[in-house]
A = this chain, B = another copy of it.
Amino acid sequence: MTSANIIKKTGNIRAKSRIKILTAARTEFVLQGFRGATVQSIADRAELPKANVLYYFKNKENIYHAVLEDTLEMWDQGIGDIEANEGPKIAIEKFIAAKVRMSFKEPEASKIYAMEIIQGAPHLQDYARTYQRQWVREKAKLFQQWIDNGEMAKVDPVHLIFLIWSATQHYADFDTQILTIMNQADFEENDVEQVIAFLTDIILRGCGLI
């Protein structure tokens, strides 16, 4: 085996173990919280010895950081965007649909983010202060232009963004409660489309776009 192959193979093991550990860790952090999730429980779920987990990440804090980073990156890629050139109706429709689909597909991603914020965002101060605040400002400005042009009703753009965030993520974060109330064991494809239709309908009408 050439040295290049050894490196490649090693890299494969590293990458695979990393993913196994991070997936297991995310579940444990959601179910038990940062402190409640033990390195042992993460290792058990990843089916690796505890020492290996600590070999890859050095300590629990680092595991959590990696989980958060991965989650934010995945979420940002998935939620799409609010495009300026499409007009408010299509832009809002697309945004709601993307967020609802992500919430049903990756509820754990939304949950770990939600828990972090609820606890005061100790690891995410910078993220909200720079990236997110900037994003909200840009999109709010866009909504304001549409309002000024008479293309949609006069609603507060920033709170409109909060409304869409909360209403869509609710189906991820509170899935347990929603399923219990709806008396279902799991969500089905039909539920996703129904939620998209409901939210799109009521919010577009709320914005004077229907």
Contacts and interface: CB of A to CB of B under 8 A. Distances in A.
Contacts of A202: 155, 160, 163, 203, 206-207
A194 interface: yes
A31 interface: yes
Contacts of A208: 205
Interface stretch (A14-22, A53-61, A78-86, A112-120): A112-120
B118 A114 contact: yes
Q: Assign chain A's interface to a size class.
A: 35 or more
18 contacts: A33-B33, A35-B35, A114-B114, A115-B115, A115-B118, A117-B173, A117-B177, A125-B180, A128-B180, A132-B180, A136-B181, A155-B202, A156-B194, A163-B198, A166-B169, A202-B203, A202-B206, A203-B206
Interface of A: 30-36, 111, 114-115, 117-121, 125, 128-129, 132-133, 136, 153, 155-156, 158-160, 162-163, 165-167, 169-171, 173-174, 176-178, 180-183, 194-195, 198-199, 201-203, 205-208
